A and B are shown apart, each in its own frame.
Chain A
Amino acid sequence: MKRPTRRNFELLLLVMAWGLGVLGTVQVGWATGEGLHPRLWITAAVVGVLALIAHLIVRWRVPYADPLLLPLATLLTILGLVMIYRLDVAAAQRAERVGAVPPTPDVYNQLTWYAVGVTLFVLVLLALRDHRILQRYTYTAGMVGIILLILPLAPVIGTTVNGATLWVRVGGLTFQPAELAKILLTIFFAGYLVVTRDSLALVRTRVLGIEFPRPRDLGPILVAWLVSLAVLVFERDLGTSLLFFGLFVSMLYIATQRRSWFVLAGALFAIGAVFAYLAFGHVRVRVQVWLDPFAYADTGGFQIVQSLYGLANGGLLGTGLGGGYPSLVPFANTDFVVAALGEELGLTGLIAILLLYAVLVERGLRTAVAVRDPFGQLLAAGLSITLAIQVFVIVGGVTRLIPLTGLTTPFLSYGGSSLVANWIIIALLLVISHRARRPLEGQTDDASMPTQVVSR
């Protein structure tokens, strides 16, 4: 039986994504009165070539992989590039009005990081034939992940930006190691839970009619909780801390199918949240601003208030790319890129973007359901959940559903570490998805070999 590979659909969607990018850039130029960007076609060609390279490598290495993952990630990256270009234009125009030196545009940096992301994407596809190899490096990944997580605290290279110690500076380059750590820790959690999930799921003690794990099995969740708290205390980063805890609890639930983990995690989360609220000024400010942003409109709530005004200005259909004032929100191209997009594309556009994320996560989880080995299931589910948590936390923060925490919007935000890490995630999902969807007849690498008897 010949299975369809669906690669032509992927190509079609990539062409559409590219076309939308060009259309958006043209629109920004016209609406802001800048005219066509002189380097529009060169930039468009670079983006097109990068997308094409990614597509061809997928065709060659993982032909049966999911056809939607790559185009979705590409479109989100392209939308991010368009928005960053649009904010560059705004910054340049403002500098011109004031008579200041125009700031260097960010869009070329982001384009470079996109190229780096695609390079790593290709490297992962070339180097990793089978995701199960990663299971051998469970504890190595865990170690390296934790080291990366605490690296910003190292004396010389660690850097504090806007109160959060999240960056590492080597030479002139800054990098957010937590972004890579999230991939490595997902690998670790997956490998660890595959081995231990039976004892975590089966051995229970009954308290108040609900089955709870034995105290000694609570070790891992307590460690995950303490590490998250440590990140919060020492690096002052609420978002990363939430991401890790949420990721671990979700994976624990998927591995054991026990709802009691959520009860436990909820209790631990509540304790942690109360502790953080009482102990840290910056957490308290975030919560107060969340509850009543307009009371702090000129101080701590300025950003969120501007973002709400922006979303209101956008309305249903948006002001059109280049038609709004997204640059009034501080950090519009990183944390608040969703607010900028919401203003210029309106609710209609924002919902489309959220749907893109929803489909991306759905395809990741579908991969987890389809793959035949438990490690792959947990890894694919964990990687998709990281994306989902990130989108929820940042979009929720920007739209004032939950208190604002600094996390990057996957693929959209300006910032190299996040973009590169998310492209690696897509590559890993494609590798797993290829193994889940390909027909078994094509399995020549391991199935045709005589079965090895390996004693463990």
Chain B
Amino acid sequence: MTEFGLTLLRLSFLAGLWLFVIVTVLILRRDLAQPRESRPATAGAPRRTRPARAPKAAKPAKIPRSAGPSLAVIEGPLSGTVIPLGSSQITLGRAPDSTIVIDDDFASSRHARVYPSEGAWIVEDLGSTNGTWIDRTRITSPTALPPGAPLRIGRTTLQLTT
């Protein structure tokens, strides 16, 4: 093998390594660009809601870009999270296996569930301590959730978008 060939091989190996890195970064970018369905705003302690986050949470219209109904968290530590609603129910509460884990002292483990029924989305309180509220009323029986109305659980507010 000539010296020239070896140099060529050496540089092409480095080029290959960098090509790998560049492709990796391109995929990373592409992945960031796609609409994200779930993005909890904070990973840790829920109590320190930063004031800077409030205006961001105030415009939930930007978030639901996907077709079909979805439930967006517009207030609270998870604000920004959008859960697309399919044919199955979703559960809310502090229990770690809930669809939306609401880490809040005012939420119960199995707080509420949202399920589809005859074209509407029904909210049912599962015997929570502090209640599930639609707008200003505490619900006592399974209630249809009107689109746009704030659904409150503890410090978290959610909104249905169809």
Minimum CB–CB distance from A238 to chain B (whole Å) comes to 30
B141 at the interface (CB under 8 A from A): no
Contact partner of B89 (CB less than 8 A), chosen from A197, A451, A456, is A451
A373-B96 contact given A1-B84, A16-B19, CB 8 Å threshold: yes
CA distance A372 to B23 in the complex (A): 28
In this complex, how many residues of chain A approach chain B with their Cβ under 8 Å: the count is 73
Q: Check A323–B28 contact: CB distance below 8 A.
A: no
Tell me which residues across on chain B come within 8 A of A135, comparing CB atoms.
Answer: 96
Give, as a whole number of angstroms, the nearest-CB distance from A44 to chain B.
15
Majority secondary structure of chain A interface residues (helix, strand, loop or mixed):
helix
Asked whether B101 is an interface residue with its Cβ less than 8 Å from the other chain, the reply is yes
For the complex, is A381 an interface residue (Cβ under 8 Å from B)? yes
- Kindly identify which residue among A9, A320, A440 contacts B83, using a CB–CB cutoff of 8 Å: A440
Known pairs A197-B44, A369-B43, A451-B91; A345 contacts B17 (CB<8 A): yes
Q: Is the pair A377, B27 in contact by a Cβ cutoff of 8 Å?
A: no
Question: CB within 8 Å of B: which of A327-353?
Answer: 345-346, 348-349, 352-353
- Report yes or no: A16 in contact with B44, Cβ–Cβ below 8 A: no
Chain B contact patch, size range: 35 or more
Q: How far is the CA of A348 from the CA of B21 in the complex (A)?
A: 12
Q: Does B162 contact A (CB under 8 A)?
A: no
- Interface residue? A321 (CB, 8 A): yes
B13 — which chain A residues lie within 8 A by C-beta?
A: 20, 23-24, 27, 320-321, 345, 349
B103 engages A372 (CB within 8 Å): no
In the bound complex, do residue B126 and residue A320 qualify as a contact, i.e. CB atoms below 8 Å apart? no
B138 CB–A CB distance under 8 Å: no
Count chain B CB atoms within 10 A of each CB in A1, A71, A321, A356 and give the residue with the most: A1
> Please, which residues of chain B bring their CB within 8 A of the CB of A345?
13-14, 17
Does A372 contact B99, Cβ atoms closer than 8 Å?
Answer: yes
Q: Which residues of B contact A19 (CB under 8 A)?
A: 16
- B41 (CB) vs chain A CBs: closest residue: A369
- Contact, CB under 8 Å: A75 / B14: no
- Structural contact, A68 and B27, CB atoms closer than 8 A: yes
Query: In the assembled complex, how far is the CB of residue B108 from the closest CB belonging to chain A, in whole angstroms?
Result: 10
* Residues A441 and B100 in contact in the complex (CB < 8 Å), given A13-B24, A68-B28, A453-B110: no
> How far does the alpha carbon of A4 sit from the alpha carbon of B99 in the complex, in Å?
21
Q: Which residue of A lies closest to B47 (CB)?
A: A202
Q: Which residues on B sit within 8 Å (CB–CB) of A440?
A: 37, 83-86, 88, 90, 99
Residues of chain A having any CB pair with chain B under 8 Å: 1, 3-4, 6, 9, 12-13, 16-17, 19-20, 23-24, 26-27, 30-31, 67-68, 71-72, 75, 132, 135, 194, 197-198, 201-202, 254-258, 317-318, 320-321, 323, 345-346, 348-349, 352-353, 355-356, 359, 362-363, 368-370, 372-375, 377-378, 381, 436, 439-441, 443-444, 446-448, 451, 453-454, 456
Apart from A374-B43, A448-B88, A453-B127, what are 20 other A-B pairs with CB-CB below 8 Å?
A: A20-B17, A201-B45, A201-B47, A254-B43, A256-B44, A257-B48, A317-B10, A318-B10, A345-B13, A356-B21, A359-B28, A368-B43, A370-B39, A372-B40, A374-B101, A377-B40, A440-B86, A443-B88, A447-B89, A451-B126
Q: List 8 A-B contacts (CB under 8 A).
A: A16-B16, A16-B20, A30-B6, A135-B96, A257-B45, A370-B36, A373-B96, A444-B88
Nearest first, the 7 closest Cβ-Cβ pairs linking A and B are A320-B10, A441-B86, A257-B44, A201-B45, A30-B1, A447-B88, A352-B17
